[in-house]
Amino acid sequence: MQVQEIMNKDVVTVSPEVTVSEAAKRMVEKGTKFLIITKSERLVGIVTEWDFVRKIAAEKEFKENSKIESIMTKRVIIIPPDTEISEAAEIMSSNNIKRLPIVANNVLVGVVTALELLAAEPKLIEQISELFLTSGKQKSVAG
């Protein structure tokens, strides 16, 4: 089974110029734990709840007018839509990330999460469970 069969096509995106405060409000409104940052329909970054926590912890005074690009992960691991679910799970596991943006022809077409992989292929539980056991130790690649 390929990730395009289970990916979420309704991805919440914002531009890099959006403020951190506006991005946080958007996440709450949409009930999501991450945002994909796009510019002219091209993926330029990803922001997760953990990025917000790190930003607040790193600054003595949190600046609401900071741009989201100041905390986004710029080096994002992506996969094409025809990636096999087992390969996506291996990529997540080896990079300690829980989300993989899916890109076709340089355009974001969806996102697949570790939980979606588990729902589609329960036999991946052992491989992906490592992500949830180490969630506080995420790399900044696309956590």
Q: What CATH code is carried by the domain that includes residue 126?
A: 3.10.580.10
Higher pLDDT, 26 or 124: 26
Is residue 87 situated within a structural domain?
A: yes
| 32 domain residue, yes or no | yes
Whether residue 129 lies inside any domain: the answer is yes
Q: Domain for residue 143, yes or no?
A: no
Give a yes or no: residue 142 inside a domain.
no
* Domain membership flag for residue 94: yes
The domain of 11 spans 3-137
Q: Note the pTM of the prediction, 2 decimals.
A: 0.79
| Average pLDDT for the chain | 85
**Residue 61 pLDDT more than 80?**
no
Span 73-113, pLDDT tens digits = 999 999 999 999 999 999 998 999 999 999 999 899 999 99
Give the Cα separation of 79 and 57 in Å (integer). Answer: 31
Answer whether residue 37 is part of any domain. Answer: yes
Residue 127 resides in a domain: yes
Number of domains in the chain: 1
